[in-house]
Structure 1
């Protein structure tokens, strides 16, 4: 089950996203300066959701507003039995749908975004088991996304897969664990995800 609450407020800057769920942390600006609060609300919400085997996340853009979501199993599945998560970033819905089909056939859950900035924000927030990036993405291309994730301590070890030929990624190709050319080769993608599963079990 997934529930999303959307507002059309002032939104949240990307640099503030990792502070949202910290205890006693509040985002300061002119509109919130007069509002009292302890900075514990989202921290407590996240703890409650995690205790029920779920997860809580936010997607936001400055000026455009925010979407807060949580998901949890309907029948009390323990957190440790949840499917590992694959983040899928592609500009077109058809590609996202095909990657989702392959990932779910391998036992993964998926979280989908449609541009590079969203991919960076979601990866840093969710720390997925793997990230699948279309080479050409709105706002940030796959290579730029990969650079940012490899520079971040939380996501530097997350395997990245590009929906592109290795040569198309140029001097950033070393940042990726694998490549799946387009039109999407479902067999290659399935094999790549299977390799992640084997590595996770071995560790």
Structure 2
């Protein structure tokens, strides 16, 4: 084999390896968080979702969404220049026979950020506030704490935190009416 042909083969192999290594960063990344979110849903054959709320957190963005009879809280991670899917592209069913449909998830965003989310959709129009009772685990003690989310017109809710900084053990999710009466309760224990 002559040197010219050998050089062409070597450069072709190098180009294929380079494209294979760089392709995921080019294809999956987008210059906007919204485009990354839309691409991620398309790759999962889900949506397009109605975006209920957009939540910024230090390492990215969460899109709280609803599609048909499903709800989602999709995480998009911020790269150096581009945005990338971060997990949970699909949805969870809205159970019409339940007052609140909810789920939880966690995903590593970076070495120092583990995003934990509890989120859902409220079917009962009498529920105006969703609370999440947690056991806050500190270095020297534990403490009970209640997180609160005032519902908006879209009826979705989300609680989120960095599990590397704040350690919560889930206790109880509640749905309250305008007078603070408990209309729904779900224990995690």
Confirm or deny a common fold (TM above 0.5). no
Larger radius of gyration: 2
Q: Which has the higher strand share?
A: 2
TM-score by length of 2: 0.24
Q: TM-score, normalised by structure 1?
A: 0.23
More RCO (CA 8 Å, sep 6+): 1
Greater helix content: 1
